[in-house]
Amino acid sequence: MSKSTAKGRVYLVGAGPGDPELITWRGLQILGMAEAVCYDALVDPTLIVTLPRDVERHYVGKRAGLHAMPQEQINELLIRLAREGKRVVRLKGGDPFIFGRGGEEALALVEAGIPFEVVPGVTAASAATAYAGMPLTHRGVATWATMLTAHETPNKASQQLPLAELGALPCGTITGYMGISRLESVCRTVMDAGRAGDTPAAVIEWGATPKQRVVRATLATLPEAVEQAGLKPPGLFVIGDTVQLADHLAWYTPGPLADRRILVTRPAHQASRMYEMLRSLGATPIPAPSIQINPVLDEDGLRRFYENRDRGGWIVFTSENGVNMFCAELLEGELDWRALGGFKIAGIGEGTVHALHRAGLKADFHPSRANIATLSTELPAHVAKGDFVVRVRGNLGDEKVERALESAGCDVLPLEVYRTSTAPLSEDVRIWVERRPLDAIAFTSGSTITAYAEQWGYDRAHRMANEAAVFTVGPMTTQIAEAEGYTVAAEADPTSVPGLVQTIRHYFEEQGRPSGIA
């Protein structure tokens, strides 16, 4: 490649061992500045779907039934994006320079004259052993530790793994990446070199994630123990006396939703908290936002609001999106909260109330149940004939609230501030779902249900819903799900996202843990 000057820059960022919360602060900061992201299969999709919508996404990981994108093509992609003047993040599992081929990518960038930065990540050897309670080094037990890949390129002229040399050295810990398929050969070589067969040893599958499983044995018995347990890649083997410290130091235990795979259809910009709540319970959230929200400008409606704001009356919010978009439009119009001084505020739902609180506003009225039907029944008793009522809304849903207030003699302004449409489905999310069946699908609104069917295709969507437990956030969402032909396992109580998460938890606690989870 010829040297050139590029306006863009490439950041080789380590995403950590799988848990998105283990990415470094610098890595997260750089990711938030990205204009294009090229990411691997082991990168948690929640790091990708929560990016701003205008960020280019390039999945370069392994696709179902196909090999990974050739390294040369990845290098060319990074160079092309940088030459287009973009800030490019190459997001890699673990650490870019530890069995991540980050060095090869960096050399290609140097040859092409592309400036770059390396952001180290938490590598699997340190993360998985820490979560399993097995220090890599320990005073008086292990004075050295080594990391190696047990999966060498098969066409090498000679194998480079120094297993025999390492096996002959005392007082150290050997950790190996991608070694499950060669575990028996590794253990035999190390023992032949002099390491005792009763040396503590272990394999950690999906370390430092909710799917973590640990098999401990001796060096001589580890291959058989791993086979009996059915451990599969990705897995890390650990050989050394510090393995036995897990008797005292193993602190990580799977939560009540351990290894449950929950498809989350909530819009990406609102779903981060739900992902966190599910992960805190041990679940693996599969981020598949089925809808996307775009602000709209209802010029006629806004003009009428501005002309009548001195009358006061009521403003009715029924969603978090409505609050955020309305407040943004208010400030864009060079007004502030004083423009709402004559209005009372009605709001339903925990998300709506929190959004009002963040905006410095407080609802004067909450219905006894957080749904449109109850709001339509109860709010008319609190308004007066002739009141000016602004119903802040999106493009979907019925006009039940408007009709009820008009019947009470109010002057109602339906003010559309956002539009909901079907979101594109990420290729990596589709692959995640194909790898293993889902345990649950969580719907947070009626619109997420109809869009979900459009995303996946009617037949595939129904098959997935029939094979997994379906959960809904409230009565209206349940009605739409059942009308779509889905059997609802449980409805959130209370009607909120935290209530939905706890409902999922209680349901699966009654079901028991999946097989294979300790």
Question: Which residues are known catalytic residues?
Answer: 40, 62
Question: How many Å is the Cα radius of gyration of the chain?
Answer: 27
Question: What number of other Cβ atoms are within 10 A of residue 7's Cβ?
Answer: 11
Distance of CA 148 to the CA centre of its chain: 29
Separation of alpha carbons 340 and 361, rounded Å: 10
Burial of residue 57 (number of CB atoms within 10 Å: 0-12, 13-18, 19+): middle
Helix/strand/coil for 399: coil
- Which residue bears the tokens 């209370």? 494
- Which residue bears the tokens 């092309």? 80
63-66: Cβ within 8 A, 24+ apart: 63/427, 63/431, 64/431, 64/434, 64/435
234 preceded by a cis bond (ω within 30 of 0): yes
Strands 388-394 and 411-422: parallel
Question: What number of other Cβ atoms are within 10 A of residue 341's Cβ?
Answer: 9
In sequence order, the β-bridge partners of residue 291 are: 422
3-class SS shares of the chain: helix, strand, coil, % to 5: 40, 20, 40
In sequence order, which ranges of 143-240 are alpha helices (DSSP H)? 163-167, 183-192, 222-229
Separation of alpha carbons 47 and 382, rounded Å: 44
154 preceded by a cis bond (ω within 30 of 0): no
- Which residue bears the tokens 């069917």? 453
- Dihedral pair phi/psi, residue 331, rounded to 5°: -70, -35
